Amino acid sequence: MSTPDPWAALRRTTQARIGLGRAGNSLPTRRVLEFATAHAAARDAVHEPLDVEAVSAQVAELGLGEPVVLTSRAETRGDYLRRPDLGRQPASLEPLAGCEQGADVALVLADGLSSRAVADHGAALLGALAKALDGRRIAPPVLATQARVALGDHVGEALGARFVVVVIGERPGLSVADSLGVYLTMHPRPGRADSERNCISNVHPPDGLTYESAARVAAALVVGADELGRSGVDLKDRSGTELAG
C-alpha cells in the first residue's frame, strides 16, 4: 500500500517545484537529477546549432519558394550571446540579390535562443502563416542563423516588403525549451524600435499556442496595421483568439 502524496492536490495549482522533500536540509537525489535534466535540455536548446539543411528542406516543401539562407555578424554562439548588436545585423544580404521586390510580407525563420524550437515547429508555423496570409504576396522564406529579431528589419528592407514577420526561437525555460515567438514589423528598416513591433509568444503545441492560432493572430495584426498605418504598441490584436495556453 502506498501513501498518497499530500502535496499532490497543491501541485495542481502551480507548476512551481513545491513539496520536494528533504535529505537532511538538502534536496533528495531524484529532485537534483530532475532539475539538472531540465537545465541540460534548456542549455542544449540554446547551444545546439540549427540543422540548416534539414530545416531548409522542410521549408522548401511549403511551396513558398526556395529558402534563402543568411547568417548574422555573430560568428560563434559565444559571440551571439555576448553581442546582441552583432546578431541584429546580417553578415551579407548578397543571397537576397536575385529575389523579387515588393512583397506584402517577408517571412524570416531565425534560430534565436532555441534551435530546437525552430527544428520542431519552424516549418509548420511558417506553413500556417502562409495559409492565414492567403491572397497576399509572400517573399521567398529566409532562414537566418545566429539571428535576433531586428535582423529581420534588414531583410524586409532589402526585399522592399511592407511587413516582415520574424519567427524566432525563444529563451528556453526549465519547463519549456522549444517555444517560438512571432514578431511583426510594418515598413521594416534598420533602426526600428521594439515598441514598433507586435509579438505573439509561447508557440509550442500541444502545450503552448497552436500554429493556427498564432497565424490567425498574425494575419489579423497585418490587417490592423494596414488600417492603422503602423505596427507596434498602438496596434491591438482583435482576432479574438485566446492567447493563454
Partner 1 sequence: MPIRRQSVAGTTYAFDGLVEVMARATPLRSGDQLAGCAAESDAERAAAAWVLADLPLTTFLDEQVVPAEDDEVTRLILERHDAEAFAPVAHLTVGDLRDHLLEVATTPGAASTYAALAPGLTPEMVAAVSKIMRNQDLVLVAGAAEVRAGFRTTIGLPGRIATRLQPNHPTDDAAGIAAATLDGLLMGCGDAVIGINPATDSPRTTADLLHLLDDMRQRYEIPMQSCVLSHVTTTVDLIEQGAPVDLVFQSIAGTQAANRGFGVTVPMLLEANEAGRSLQRGTVGDNVFYLETGQGSALSADAHLGTGGKPVDQQTLETRAYGLARVLEPLLINTVVGFIGPEYLYDGKQIIRAGLEDHFCGKLLGLPMGVDVCYTNHAEADSDDMDVLLTLLGVAGAAFVIAVPGADDVMLGYQSLSFHDALYVRQVLGLRPAPEFEAWLAGLGMADADGRVLAVDLEASPLLGIASGGRP
Distance, in Å, from the CA atom of 118 to the CA atom of 167, rounded to the nearest integer, reads 8
Asked if 19 contacts 7 with a C-beta cutoff of 8 angstroms, the reply is yes
Nearer residue to partner 1 within complex by CB, 18 or 223: 18
Q: Please report how close the Cβ of residue 157 comes to partner 1 at its closest, in angstroms.
A: 22
Q: Three cell numbers at 148?
A: 535576433
* Residue 87: closest CA among 69, 68, 108, 110: 110
Tell me: does residue 214 bind partner 1 (CB under 8 A). Answer: no
Tell me: does residue 81 bind partner 1 (CB under 8 A). Answer: yes
φ, ψ of residue 228 in degrees (nearest 5): -80, -25
Q: Please report how close the Cβ of residue 137 comes to partner 1 at its closest, in angstroms.
A: 36
Residues for the chain: how many in total?
245
Count of residues binding partner 1 (CB under 8 A)?
38
Asked if 209 contacts 203 with a C-beta cutoff of 8 angstroms, the reply is yes
Tell me: does residue 33 bind partner 1 (CB under 8 A). Answer: no
Tell me: does residue 85 bind partner 1 (CB under 8 A). Answer: yes
Tell me: does residue 37 bind partner 1 (CB under 8 A). Answer: no
Report the interface residues with partner 1, using CB under 8 A.
6-7, 9-11, 13-20, 22, 25-27, 31, 35-36, 38-39, 42-43, 45-46, 81-85, 113, 171-175, 244
